Amino acid sequence: MHFTITLLPGDGIGPEVVASGMAVLGKITERFGHSVDFHEALIGGAAIDATGNPLPDETLVACKQADAILLGAVGGPKWSDPNAPVRPEQGLLRLRKELGLYANLRPVTVHPDLADLSPVKSDRLKGVDMLVVRELTGGIYFGEKRRDGDTAFDGCSYNVAEVERVVRLAARLAGKRKRRLTQVDKANVLETSRLWRQVTTRVIAEEFPDIDLEHQLVDSMAMHLIAKPSAYDVIVTENLFGDILTDEAALLAGSLGLLPSASLGDSGPGVYEPIHGSAPDIAGKDKANPIGTILSVAMLLRWSLKLEAEAAAIEAAVGKVLSAGLRTADIAAGGPTLGTRAMTEAIVAALDEGMRA
Ligand code: IPM
Ligand code: MG
């Protein structure tokens, strides 16, 4: 199979981890007999520096023409002035909106050898295997924003269709897993949350009678995620709650650096990116954990290219290097560490061995 991938390295550690993703994709295509064209384009702070625009038109065109997009991270102190006219994050938000990527899939599992790294007691981490489906193109992220004298305003709205489509997707995914769906909101306070609850209840009752649906308020969900994380299968929630809960859930796995994500719409290319940020403090130092990006490449192969065996091979290779005790600094717990490049090479080598076995 031949495919085209647009690479958006972005800022901070973005370029380093995207290089790791490319190396792994290169190995996969070689071993499975595919070919790939990479196109690199600007986004975020790097794009602001070069063009004044965090999502230049040519980047958007390159993304729309690709089979899938691999993104590093955006943002950093250089562009964080609250009075700046544009911010790197606007590039990412506009990309999600322009491509119609309304569902962000964030799987969370715990490698048994890393359970001790989590601030959560390891006996609670047994059996953790959840998939958070975060709504990605609505809510307070995209509402009207303004300043009125000394008052600031961020509007939050959702309509029925926006909730239906992401709930349907989450329910379909739950149907292939343990058939449990937890919908998270703040329905005791917010009108948008009451709409979410109403629509979710109806969609599941009418279209997915075999799915076991539960509602949770976001404040108690934040607590349950730590107290009984293995109780959850698929979690579906609005944009802002999903952003917050997935950083929290990342700590179950041991490090934010381990977690991948896929942003999908009904058609067209998906965007695949680690859930971590640009980590400016370690940028350019060969210290970043590439695993979140490498597992995002596995999701890219699975969801955009339908190459399940290739995706599984990457996941197996990552599992193998972790089982062998190889660690980047964020997961080393004081022990010996590998840099970004050495960890990537180890995963590429594990892919090679896996293929020969
Ligand atoms: C994420 C990030 C982004 C978000 C930022 C960089 C705008 O935190 O992908 O989770 O809030 O969506
Ligand atoms: Mg986030």
pLDDT digits (tens, 9 = 90+) for 198-216: 999 999 999 999 999 999 9
* Domains, the chain, with CATH or none: 1-111+267-357 (3.40.718.10), 119-253 (3.40.718.10)
What local confidence, expressed as pLDDT, does residue 53 receive? 98
Active-site residue, from 102, 141, 158, 232: 141
Ligand nearest to the CA of 240: 1
CA nearest to 157, candidates 198, 193, 132, 183: 193
What local confidence, expressed as pLDDT, does residue 82 receive? 84
What local confidence, expressed as pLDDT, does residue 83 receive? 87
CA nearest to 292, candidates 308, 273, 279: 273
What local confidence, expressed as pLDDT, does residue 273 receive? 98
CB contact set of 116 (below 8 Å; sequence gap of 6+) = 122, 333
In whole angstroms, how large is the CA radius of gyration of the chain? 20
In percent, how much of the chain has pLDDT > 90? 97
Which tens digit of pLDDT belongs to each residue from 301-320? 999 999 999 999 999 999 99
Segment 280-286 shows an average pLDDT of 98
64 vs 317: CA distance, rounded Å: 30
The β-bridge partners of 325 are none
In percent, how much of the chain has pLDDT > 70? 99
Residue 219 appears among annotated catalytic residues: yes
What local confidence, expressed as pLDDT, does residue 357 receive? 57
Output the pTM of the full model.
0.96
Which tens digit of pLDDT belongs to each residue from 112-134? 999 999 999 999 999 999 999 99
What local confidence, expressed as pLDDT, does residue 356 receive? 66
Mean of pLDDT over the chain = 97
Atom of ligand 1 nearest to the CA of 239: 12
Ligand 1 pocket, residues with Cβ under 6 angstroms: 74-75, 89, 92, 243, 275
Ligand nearest to the CA of 139: 1
Q: Which phi and psi angles does 267 have, rounded to 5°?
A: -155, 170
Segment 181-199 shows an average pLDDT of 98
What local confidence, expressed as pLDDT, does residue 247 receive? 92
Residue 173 above 70 pLDDT? Answer: yes
Segment 44-66 shows an average pLDDT of 98
Residue 352 above 80 pLDDT? Answer: yes
